[in-house]
Amino acid sequence: MKESEPVYLQGDIVEEHVEFTLIELCRITGASKDQFALWVEEGAFEPRGARIEEWRFSGASLRRAITAQRLTSDLELNAQGVALALDLLDQIDTLRARLARYGDRGDIPEAS
C-alpha cells in the first residue's frame, strides 16, 4: 500500500449500556463457554448475574472478548495469561490517554 492511499476502517460503536449474553459473545468471538468461564474465574471479565445462564456483559466487554480470543488463539495464552495481558493492555491505554492529555510537556502529575 502506498503512503498516499487512504485507509478505511469499518466498525461498530457499542455503547456501555448495551449488554451481551454469554451466547452472543461466544458467537461473535468464536470463544467457547468454557473459555469465558475460565476468563471470568481469572477476573478478566465481571459479568452481571449469579449463574452462568444469567451472565450479562457490558458493551465494553465486546472489544475485550475479541482481544481475549485473539490472545488465546494467536498466542496460545491460557486464562491466567489472557487476564494478565488484558490488564496490561488496560494500563497501556490509560497511560496513552494520560500522555495525550498532558502531551510531551513532562508535567504529568504524580499518582496519588
Q: Report pLDDT for 101.
A: 86
Q: What pLDDT sits at residue 8? A: 56
> What pLDDT does 110 receive?
62
What are the domain boundaries of the chain?
19-102
Q: Which CATH class is domain 19-102?
A: mainly alpha
In order along its 112 residues, the chain shows pLDDT tens digits of 555 676 655 555 556 678 999 999 999 999 999 999 999 999 999 999 999 999 999 988 999 999 999 999 999 999 999 999 999 999 999 999 999 888 765 555 666 5
pLDDT value, residue 10: 53
Do residues 78 and 88 lie in contact, with contact meaning Cβ atoms separated by under 8 Å?
A: no
Closest by Cα among 66, 72, 63, 57 to 22: 57
Cα–Cα dist 21/56, whole Å? 5
Determine the Cα–Cα distance for residues 54 and 66; give it in Å rounded to an integer.
21
Q: Which of 68, 104, 110 is nearest to 89 (CA)?
A: 68
**pTM (2 d.p.):** 0.74
Q: What is the DSSP letter of 4?
A: T
**Cα dihedral 94/76/54/51 (nearest 10):** -110
Q: How far apart are CA 69 and CA 63, in angstroms?
A: 10
